[in-house]
Amino acid sequence: MSTWKSHLQHDPLTLLLSSGPALKYFTERDLLSSQVPPVQTVWELPEAQKILKSQMPDGSWKYPGTKKNVYPDHHYSLVETWRQFRFLIDMYQFTNDHPCIEKAAEYLFSCQTEQGDIRGMIANQYATYYTGAIMSLLIKAGYAEDPRIEKGVQWLLSMRQHDKGWTIPLLTRDIPWKDQIRLTSHYAEPVEPDRSKPFSHSWTGMVLRAFASHPRYRHSEEAVAAANLLKSRFFKKDSYTSYQSEEYWVRFEFPFWWNNLVSAMDSISLIGIPEKDPDVRRALQWFIDNQENNGLWRLSYQKKGFKDTPRSREMQLWVSLAICRIFKRYYS
């Protein structure tokens, strides 16, 4: 019988199963469908506990770098909380059954406006992309039916371009660079989008994660439409100058931050765009053709490559696990 693994040229399981306990756990559970202990055993791992121990009393994490004078006051805490929350939710799969996750979620929700968006990543400007990405983590953490998530989803739907995709509203206006810097670091009224401008695949990919994570919205007409837009841009330049190069499609990280082929296909496979779709097939074939002999995938296929460090080698394993999950969804 054909399995997901038979579609690959090299076996990724050997290295995944011989890696750290978290990777081994999720490989056995997600790829081999093995009986494993409750996920709470992963939560107790030293790497996960180290992140929890640095959490602040208000549920946030303290930004470790140099802080510039920017608006709002919580900008740096929000950025660092998003960064650390990604590891807890996407890597160790914590949920709000853990009190630290509940505290972190309440902090993130405290940055939600009355309109529904998460505000503070780019001063007082609309950050559609971060709102979607943060909402996706909150949904995975157990907040899918929370009314604050519903408010956020409805806000995202209200912020679509006429073509039914997303961009960053600020980028749809011809604003000089120095004014963009001012608008994204100091208080100013949000710039409304020019909805006639095209969607951006870079930012649509981040927004779409919220819909792909949500059990009710995953197969919605709006999610499918956006997924179709996203896949139509595989390996192409973005419509806007920010993250414009087509090489960004093949620069990977885990947990996901920016849009790339792995994060996009993760959402598209969850939404249910079928394997027979030409764009999906092309993406899957790219993964097949670019797998390393050891069964893994590189972190970057850009011309400049990537630095080989212990940290990058571990991330390479997590990226490879994410790709294998995609293949299992399509071929199991």
Distance from chain centroid for Cα 123: 21
Q: Is 118 helix (H, G, I), strand (E, B) or coil?
A: strand
Identify residue 110 by its one-letter amino acid code: S
Pair 266, 218: CB distance under 8 Å: no
Tokens of 170: 């600020």
pLDDT tens, residue order, the chain (332 aa): 459 999 999 999 999 999 999 999 999 999 999 999 999 999 999 999 999 999 999 999 999 988 888 899 999 999 999 999 999 999 999 999 999 999 999 999 999 999 999 999 999 999 999 999 999 999 999 999 999 999 999 999 999 999 999 999 999 999 999 999 999 999 999 999 999 999 999 999 999 999 999 999 999 999 999 999 999 999 999 999 888 899 999 999 999 999 999 999 999 999 999 999 999 999 999 999 999 999 999 999 987 777 889 899 999 999 999 999 999 999 98
Q: Which is nearest to 258 in space by CA: 269, 245, 249, 266?
A: 249
The whole-number pLDDT of residue 2 equals 59
Q: Which alpha helices (H) appear in the chain, and where do they start and end?
A: 13-17, 21-26, 40-43, 46-53, 75-86, 99-110, 128-138, 147-158, 177-183, 201-213, 221-231, 261-271, 278-289, 310-331
The whole-number pLDDT of residue 1 equals 41
DSSP classification of residue 214: -
Pair 300, 306: CB distance under 8 Å: yes
Long-range own/partner contacts, residues 190-196 (CB < 8 A, 24 or more apart): 190/124, 190/125, 190/126, 191/125, 191/126, 193/126, 193/159, 193/161, 193/167, 193/169, 195/160, 195/161, 195/162, 196/161, 196/162
